Amino acid sequence: MSILTGTASWTDPTLLACGRFYPPDVRTPEARLRYYASQFKLVEVDATYYRLPDGRTAHAWATRTPDDFVFHAKAFRLFTGHPAPVRDLPADIQRELDVSPTVFYHQLPAELQRELWQRFLVGLEPLRMAGKLRAIHFQFAPWVQRNPRGTALLRECERHMQEHLMAVEFRHRSWFENSSASAWTLDLLRDAGMVHTVVDAPQGFDNTVPAVWASTHPELAVLRLHGHNTAAWNNNSGASSGRFQYEYSPEELADLAQRLKRLAEQVRSAHAVLNTNYQDQGMRNAAGLAAALRIHQ
């Protein structure tokens, strides 16, 4: 059993601007990743959600981190039910589409869907070959519900992820709205060989789910922490990191550490990803959780 903590970004603009995490002489992308990897052994790549990954960049990530460092890569947003600006797709694929500014996955011809999947996975191949791609994280859109359409999207992703470990985070309450729904969802993930992501987030919205402390895969459990900033959860007026401004208290971290330790006993490894990406809050929260885990060993 092992437990790792890390953050959902190491280059957020507010992090770089605050000047509190990286030393003054750490200014280049290479130096930042090397320094981050000296502090944590896990990071989530957010850039792969917005654009398809580039193999050269993934190779650089692999070579700039120690042998025991691991990555989670977020799945490209079209795969999880989100729209994507056409301008963010590869130029040759843009030419195959109409003039609409945004596109959804289901609007694409089957051959373009396959091409996007192939390029996404090829772009991450250097990380996989280096043994550092621990999971690909699928954060499904808040309108992906527990119904035949939502299940079909999950199965479509499963079909393309045969050689990769798939961690799943739902953003619609229907997946865990009661005990029977939770049991159904966990059974679905377990039967498909997918990792259930335990979510710590504000409650009381349709686009949030409760923390269901359960494992569905023997290799990995994932805890993703968004903080409890209820007022900002659905505020999309600024940078995304602003929605997740939150400092976990020592008491909250102690409780989370105990729960995570119990969850980790069911799997080979457990990963906690702090998505509180405003300034250096993610790093401080991740370090605080790691300290709480040491106390409760």
pLDDT digits (tens, 9 = 90+) for 182-232: 999 999 999 999 999 999 999 988 899 999 999 999 999 999 999 998 887
Q: Is the dihedral of CA 29, 53, 87, 166 positive or negative?
A: negative
Extended strands (E) in 38-170: 42-45, 70-74, 84-85, 102-103, 133-139, 166-169
How far is Cα 175 from Cα 170, in angstroms, rounded to an integer?
Answer: 7
User: Between the CA atoms of 100, 85, 158 and 286, what dihedral angle is there, to the nearest 10 degrees?
Assistant: -160
Cα separation values, 80 from 102, 124, 216, 267, Å: 15, 17, 20, 26
What is the pLDDT, as a whole number, of residue 243? 79
- The neighbour count for residue 159, using CB atoms within 10 Å, is 9
201: Cβ–Cβ under 8 A, 6 or more apart, which residues? 208, 209, 211, 225, 226, 227, 228, 233
What is the pLDDT, as a whole number, of residue 217? 98
Q: Is the dihedral of CA 40, 45, 47, 53 positive or negative?
A: positive
Q: What angle do CA 254, 257, 258 make, to 5 degrees?
A: 90
Q: What is the CATH number of the domain that holds 113?
A: 3.20.20.410
What is the pLDDT, as a whole number, of residue 16? 96
Domain count, the chain: 1
Q: Is the dihedral of CA 140, 142, 147, 149 positive or negative?
A: negative
How far is Cα 140 from Cα 135, in angstroms, rounded to an integer?
Answer: 15
Average pLDDT, the chain: 95
What is the pLDDT, as a whole number, of residue 113? 97
What is the pLDDT, as a whole number, of residue 98? 81
CB 105 within 8 A of CB 79: yes
Domain that holds residue 246: 2-295
Amino acid (one-letter) located at 171? R
How far is Cα 97 from Cα 107, in angstroms, rounded to an integer?
Answer: 10
Nearest Cα to Cα of residue 269 among 73, 68, 125, 76: 68
What is the pLDDT, as a whole number, of residue 266? 97
Amino acid (one-letter) located at 82? H
What is the pLDDT, as a whole number, of residue 175? 98
How far is Cα 155 from Cα 65, in angstroms, rounded to an integer?
Answer: 33
The two tokens of residue 129 are 């070959």
Cα separation values, 226 from 135, 192, 204, Å: 19, 26, 14
Nearest Cα to Cα of residue 260 among 224, 219, 234: 224
What is the pLDDT, as a whole number, of residue 235? 72
CB 182 within 8 A of CB 176: yes
What is the pLDDT, as a whole number, of residue 232? 75
Backbone angles phi, psi at 168, to 5 degrees: -120, 130
Q: Which residues of the chain fall below pLDDT 50? A: none
